[in-house]
C-alpha cells in the first residue's frame, strides 16, 4: 500500500505505524496520529488485528463518513491472542521480537467494537485460505456490508496487489466513486 501511495498519490497523508503490542497504547497512538485528519477525505485500512482496530476507528465521530478496508480482520482478538502470551515475533519481520503481556487481553476486551452505523462503508476482504483466522467468523461479523470473499489466498494476503485497484477505488483514492 505504501508503494502504491508513493507512486500514484504522493499528495496523500499516509500513515502505517508499527503499533505497540499493548492495545491501550495502540489505540492512544492511533488517536494521536489521526487527531487532525480531515473528516471528509480520510480512509482507513487494517489487516488482522489492525482490521479490528480500523473497525473500531470507523465508528469514531471523526471517521463516520470514511470508508474502511478490513483485510482478514480479527473478530475476537482477546480470545484469539490469549494463547500467545509471552515473547512473540512480529508478523511482518520475524527478527522483531516483543512481549505480549497477560494484561493486554483485558485491554482488548475493553475496546468496544460495536456494529457499524453504516456497514456499507466497511469492505471486508476475507481469504478462505487464511491459516490464522476463521473466514466464516469474519464473514458472519461483516455480513451487513460489502465482502470480497477470496477462494484462496492466505492471512497475509500475499496476492494483495491483485486486489489493490478495487480497494483503492473503494477507499476513493483513485478519484472515482467507491464500489466493489
Domain boundaries in the chain? 42-74+115-170
Residue ranges of the alpha helices (H) in the chain?
2-8, 23-34, 49-57, 77-81, 103-110, 135-141, 160-170
Mean pLDDT across the stretch 93-122?
Answer: 91
* Mean pLDDT computed over every residue of the chain: 91
Mean pLDDT across the stretch 57-77?
Answer: 95
Tell me which CATH code domain 42-74+115-170 carries. Answer: 3.40.50.1820
The pLDDT of residue 178 is: 47
Q: Using an 8 Å Cβ cutoff, are 143 and 60 in contact?
A: no
Q: Model-level pTM? A: 0.92
pLDDT one-digit tens code per residue, 132-179 = 999 999 999 999 999 999 999 999 999 999 999 999 999 999 765 444
The pLDDT of residue 48 is: 95
- Nearest-Å Rg of the Cα atoms of the chain is 16
The upper half-sphere exposure of residue 64, i.e. CA atoms within 13 Å in the direction of its Cβ, equals 9
40: region left, alpha or beta (phi > 0 left; psi from -120 to 50 alpha): alpha
Amino acid at each position: 500500500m505504501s508503494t502504491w501511495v508513493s507512486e500514484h498519490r504522493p499528495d496523500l497523508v499516509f500513515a502505517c505505524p508499527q503499533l505497540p503490542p499493548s492495545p491501550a497504547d495502540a489505540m492512544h497512538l492511533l488517536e494521536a496520529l489521526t487527531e487532525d485528519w480531515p473528516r471528509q477525505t480520510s480512509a482507513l485500512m487494517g489487516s488482522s488485528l489492525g482490521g479490528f482496530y480500523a473497525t473500531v476507528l470507523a465508528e469514531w465521530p471523526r471517521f463516520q463518513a470514511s470508508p474502511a478496508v478490513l483485510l482478514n480482520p480479527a473478530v475476537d482478538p482477546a480470545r484469539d491472542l490469549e494463547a500467545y502470551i509471552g515473547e512473540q515475533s512480529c508478523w511482518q519481520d520475524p527478527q522483531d521480537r516483543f512481549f505480549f503481556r497477560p494484561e493486554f487481553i483485558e485491554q482488548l476486551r475493553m475496546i468496544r467494537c460495536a456494529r457499524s452505523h453504516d456497514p456499507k462503508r466497511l469492505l471486508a476482504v476475507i481469504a478462505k485460505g487464511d491459516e490464522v483466522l476463521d473466514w466464516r467468523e469474519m464473514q458472519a461479523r461483516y455480513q451487513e456490508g460489502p465482502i470480497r470473499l477470496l477462494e484462496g489466498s492466505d492471512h497475509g494476503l500475499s496476492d494483495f496487489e491483485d486486489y489493490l485497484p478495487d480497494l483503492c477505488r473503494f477507499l476513493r483514492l483513485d478519484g472515482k466513486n467507491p464500489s466493489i
